[in-house]
A and B are shown apart, each in its own frame.
Chain A
Amino acid sequence: MRIPSDLYQKRYRDRRGRQGRRSRFSWRQSWRAWIDKRLPPQREQVLSHRNIFIFPSRAGLVFTGLLIMLLLVAINFENSAIFALVFLLGGLFVVSILHTFGNLMGLKISGRSAEAAFAGRQAIFPIMLSASGRQHFGVQLSWQDISSDRIDVAKQSERSIPMRFRTGPRGICKPGRIKVETSYPLGLITAWTWVDLAIDTVVYPFPDKSAGDPVSQSAYHESGMQERAGSDDFFGLRSYVVGDSMRSVAWKTFAKTGQLSSKQFVDYIDHRLWLDWNKTTGDDEQRLQQLCHWALVAEAGHHEYGLRLPSVNVPPGRGMPHLNALLSELALYRLPLKQSSGSYAGSIRQAGSPKPSVAL
């Protein structure tokens, strides 16, 4: 896993982020309620007259202005050819309403949940556009202030668009409605819809670099080392006990002292690192950030590591799935889970990342 250094310099955004504005506009809430009812969240949506909105674009309004000017010219100069031109352009405007509408109609949009991201960074949601009976041109996806390029989707084909989304505070991030729009063919009319693809992702706390090295902070829990009989390293001698292997008898010592001694070997199954809530400082969020940093450092090292939170213990382990599970615990620590899936691990599996990693 690669964590760019600049990541550490940034703090994740204020938790109030999206919630703060909510109370200010009540109409916004009622609009949300209306659209939620009209276009309920669904993993997969086919656009039809039910969910497409259409209105002249800004260019369309400029064009309308041009038509009015030309009409005045035609009237004042009593010029039949200009009259005909105005009506031809007006006809184009009307016809393009149908074309723009048709360009979005029948387009299937589906989304998958993104891989997890750190708070404040961008998660990438793969959005699929699939066409069946017709070609779709110049379709643009957008949310927040991020828009995709214009995409052409050929007949009977599928395009996957990685849509970046700037995450908020840790927890579960639901990007909400994505705007799907097109102005094809003339750019005079815009047809659009907001679909909620019911996708989400886990947002890990943003790692706090100042937390330092988990080892030097003596985050080891209990004795960091534990010996166990083994065959690797010489540990010492003890009196021979019946049953000891003849190979382990220290014959040199026997020759010197006449006493039978057995050599003791041990294996070190050491370095079981416990990332402990109690070793961190600050408020809850700061502690989680420190733990997050430790987990990343621990994964980069050679230690097995576990997590101890006041309510949860994650037994030591190593590897990406372990790290993701651990970071998810950090992400969801003491957050009310309103998700239907309930379990967080389930949500991660749904994200279905083939090689589990933290998207940065």
Chain B
Amino acid sequence: MSAAEQIPRNSIIWLLSAQLAVIIPLMGLMSWWMIAFWLLCAVWRVAMFRGEASFPGKIVRGTLVALGGLGVAISFSGLGSLEIAVALLILAFSLKLIEVRTRRDMYLVFCLALFIVAAAFLFSQSIFLAIYQVFSVVLIITAMVATQHSLYNREPALAMRMAGKLVAQAVPVMILFFLVFPRIEPIWSVPTNVPSAGIGMSDNIEPGDIAKLNQSDELAFRVEFDGPMPLREDMYWRGMTLSNFDGRKWSVGSYLTRNPGSENLAAKYELYGEPLRYKMTIEPTGKNWLFMLPIAIPIDSTQGSTMAFVQTEDFALRSVMALDRPVGIEVESYVNYSVGLNITEAQRVEYTKLPAGFNPRALSFAADLRERTASPQEYVDQLSKYMLEQDFYYTLEPPALGRDTVDDFIFGTRRGYCEHYANAFAFLLRAANIPARVVVGYQGGEINPHNMTLNVRQLDAHAWIEYWRAGSGWLRLDPTYIVAPDRIHLGFDGSLERDSEFANNKLLSPLFYKNMGLIKALRLRLDAINYTWQKKVVGFGADEQRDVLNDLLGGVTSLKLGILVAGILLIVLGILALWILRGARGINFSPEKMLYLKFCKKVSARLGLFRTKSETPQAFAERIIEKYPQSAEQIRAITTQYNEIAYADERSAANLDQLKAYIAGFQPSLARAKL
């Protein structure tokens, strides 16, 4: 290897920092041993650099590759192909570290690093990651710059300054292309990054499921209202209805397999009043359910080619495609409605069906109560009253229930969470032959005062019921509201703040800290910023692009666009060229030389005498004086002063000022000379 191809030390140091930086965001995805693997390679590289280790042989490298591959196969089995691809990338990236010998080899590592930076964006596109990755890119670029320095460069900061400058200069080009580059349809379908199981609502629930969901701080969706926000207690984000009960689990009914046309459905509901209009940005769930205020109707304009919806028989909205990336939709919700005024016999059977042999005490309790009440509505009221009067408690950590969940709950523990109440209530209604179903979705949400958006998180997950009444159709009933109205009024966080026991247990959980004043304010502020980012940047697709360009150009034509792009590019690059190349031309003269040249210019302009290239100032002075003796004194003074400064060991400011004054005072003119 020639000296010219050796990798400078600074470059290795920067490369190691850059590698660490690009791995950190993927830390959660990787296993601990991969970090150790990288660390091993990094330590090896440093040892090689210090001459304490040599390049690994073929056998060592082969073994490492095999071990890494095996590790990935074991650790990542069952995970998506995307995760495996990224894991393999990181492995290659670590291994390459102990293989690079020449400057040219380094570029493969740089490219891998940049690819991993991009890969992290497949898992999150938040503004915080984006800012962080700019920093990662600067580090990678720094390593690249350091590679190009002389081997003996001992100023590592120099490379970083250059890298920062380069990235800053590249930003205008980036913005321009981001705005105008056509957003075309995906060329082929790709494995999508579906959030891992456990996050988001599933298609069936049993007691305890939603409590698990409520531990998560993760965002489910954001809502931006086009007008005043409805009251929190009215915000029931309705997802799916569960009509199948197998004794323990409530699951989605058979209506999904039937596929009613929406025109049929429209006849089955009546909507009153002005709708609420709002825009939702839904985080990917990997499922098709949408959570809306009922009855929601998507606005046509937002039904882009990529999003299509189906209204199900229970008036919920389903996306045709699974939600595997953040989507934005605009909907109108009619909160005053009556639906399902008439139900078929088949439906009545379905919504009152109970499995045999479960909850005998509850069944007899229901039969008893139904006998004592005159109408189904009275039965419901009596049941609510019963719940309110008996000592039912709302708690996140209810005791476990046995086989007969309703029996155990109603006559035993009496401590439960929303799904316990929904489960019991729906069961008791069905037991009295009243059509009922469990509804899952979210309740309330957190209002961010900075941008007036509503953030609905997994911890807002909720379950309630709907029952059918002749003449009114399906009605919402939230048993939790009866037992713990705070849960609805104040939201999940608010109700927990009072539950000191719960808070104490969770002293170390982020849920606890997220409610402390300053932190909460900061969190909301950051959240608002991130939302704007998500909306404006991450959500920048073909439609947004068209709108922006329309605003800018007043109608997009390819000619206008071409001129705009070429023009901006020329201006940007022109400015950059002037900036970058400015030092390249001309010579930097010393200040006294600059002053002297000014003097020479004066002489040439006014007296018509030019100093030749080889002429010393002294000789030039004599030549001028010969022709224009009247200025002799001034010219001699200037020349002497200049020589004094030029040949002095130290340049003094006073001397320079003196020279400046002399030259300023030197005002020869041909007219005077001729006199």
Are the C-beta atoms of B190 and A76 separated by less than 8 Å? yes
Q: Which of B119-142 contact A (CB under 8 A)?
A: 121-122, 125, 129-130, 133-134, 137, 141
Chain A contributes a number of interface residues (CB within 8 A of B) equal to 58
Note all chain B residues with C-beta closer than 8 A to A91.
Answer: 169-174, 177
Cross-interface CB contact of B3 among A94, A149, A155, cutoff 8 Å: A149
In the complex, whether B147 has a CB less than 8 A from a CB of chain A is: yes
Cross-interface CB contact of B148 among A73, A92, A137, cutoff 8 Å: A137
Cross-interface CB contact of A70 among B108, B115, B133, B137, cutoff 8 Å: B115
In the complex, whether A156 has a CB less than 8 A from a CB of chain B is: yes
Cross-interface CB contact of A84 among B111, B537, B580, cutoff 8 Å: B537
In the complex, whether B2 has a CB less than 8 A from a CB of chain A is: yes
User: Binding site of B, secondary structure by majority: helix, strand, loop or mixed?
Assistant: helix
Q: Given A79-B122, A95-B169, A133-B586, are A87 and B540 neighbors across the interface (CB < 8 Å)? A: no
Are the C-beta atoms of B584 and A105 separated by less than 8 Å? yes
Of B27-35, B149-157, B471-479, B650-658, which binds chain A?
Answer: B149-157
Are the C-beta atoms of B166 and A99 separated by less than 8 Å? yes
In the complex, whether A280 has a CB less than 8 A from a CB of chain B is: no
Note all chain A residues with C-beta closer than 8 A to B585.
Answer: 48, 105-106, 133
Note all chain B residues with C-beta closer than 8 A to A78.
Answer: 183, 186, 325, 541
Are the C-beta atoms of B150 and A137 separated by less than 8 Å? yes
In the complex, whether A148 has a CB less than 8 A from a CB of chain B is: yes
In the complex, whether A158 has a CB less than 8 A from a CB of chain B is: no
Are the C-beta atoms of A88 and B186 separated by less than 8 Å? no
Are the C-beta atoms of A132 and B174 separated by less than 8 Å? no
Interface residue range, chain B? 35 or more
B160 shortest CB reach to chain A, Å: 12
Chain B 158-179 interface 0/1 with A at a Cβ cutoff of 8 Å (1 = within): 0000110011011111111110
CA distance A132 to B167 in the complex (A): 26
Chain A 289-320 interface 0/1 with B at a Cβ cutoff of 8 Å (1 = within): 00000000000000000000000000000000
A201 shortest CB reach to chain B, Å: 23
Are the C-beta atoms of A92 and B141 separated by less than 8 Å? yes
Cross-interface CB contact of A150 among B129, B150, B181, cutoff 8 Å: B150
Q: Which of B285-341 contact A (CB under 8 A)?
A: 325
Are the C-beta atoms of A150 and B149 separated by less than 8 Å? yes
Note all chain A residues with C-beta closer than 8 A to B588.
Answer: 132-133, 155-156
Which of the listed residues B117, B166, B174 has the most CB atoms from chain A within 10 Å of its own CB? B174
Note all chain B residues with C-beta closer than 8 A to A83.
Answer: 178, 181
Q: Given A85-B133, A87-B181, A105-B581, are A94 and B166 neighbors across the interface (CB < 8 Å)? A: no
Are the C-beta atoms of B4 and A79 separated by less than 8 Å? no
Q: Which of A130-153 contact B (CB under 8 A)?
A: 132-134, 137-138, 140, 147-152
CA distance A187 to B166 in the complex (A): 13
Are the C-beta atoms of B4 and A95 separated by less than 8 Å? no
What are some 7 contacts across the A-B interface (CB < 8 A)? A66-B115, A78-B186, A79-B122, A85-B133, A92-B166, A106-B585, A185-B144
B interface vs A, CB < 8 Å?
2-4, 103-104, 107-108, 111, 114-115, 117-118, 121-122, 125, 129-130, 133-134, 137, 141, 144-145, 147-153, 162-163, 166-167, 169-178, 181, 183-184, 186-190, 192, 325, 537-541, 573, 576-577, 580-581, 583-588
Given contacts A80-B178, A98-B581, 13 further A-B contacts (CB under 8 A): A73-B118, A76-B187, A81-B129, A86-B118, A90-B170, A99-B166, A101-B581, A106-B584, A132-B586, A133-B588, A147-B2, A184-B148, A186-B148
